[in-house]
């Protein structure tokens, strides 16, 4: 069997941006993460729904345009009564 084919295995300290730290096994000595189970909205229950693109407003505007088109199609066509 060949020697030194496997990487060194560490008890790695994982540090989150929120300040939480925990230890896992890994091939790198230290890991820094942006989000963990202590600060992730799914685990904390403090989920925020942010409409950054204005999707709801865009949908309502599109819906209003289609309603206007439906109304305009159902109106009778008026003939030009102005003699020229």
H or E, element range at 64: helix 55-74
Confidence of residue 41 (pLDDT cuts 50, 70, 90): confident
Q: What is the pTM of this model?
A: 0.47
Name the β-bridge partners of 23: 13
Is residue 47 included in any domain, yes or no? yes
Is residue 20 included in any domain, yes or no? yes
Is residue 58 included in any domain, yes or no? yes
Range of the domain at 34: 10-74
Number of domains in the chain: 1
The Cα 41–Cα 18 span in angstroms is 13
Is residue 4 included in any domain, yes or no? no
Give 43-83 pLDDT, tens digit per residue. Answer: 777 766 655 567 788 888 889 998 888 888 777 766 666 66
What CATH number is attached to the domain comprising 36? 4.10.80.400
The Cα 26–Cα 7 span in angstroms is 10
Is residue 83 included in any domain, yes or no? no
Q: Give the SS3 label for residue 42.
A: helix
The Cα 57–Cα 55 span in angstroms is 5
Is residue 52 included in any domain, yes or no? yes
């Amino acid at each position: 069997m060949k020697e030194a084919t496997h990487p060194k295995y560490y008890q790695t300290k994982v540090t989150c941006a929120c300040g939480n730290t925990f230890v896992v096994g890994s091939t790198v000595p230290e890991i820094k993460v942006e989000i963990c189970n202590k600060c992730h909205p799914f685990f904390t229950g403090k989920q925020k729904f942010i409409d950054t693109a204005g999707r709801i407003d865009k949908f309502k505007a599109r819906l209003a345009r289609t309603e206007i088109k439906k109304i305009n199609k159902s109106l009778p066509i008026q003939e030009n009564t102005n003699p020229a």
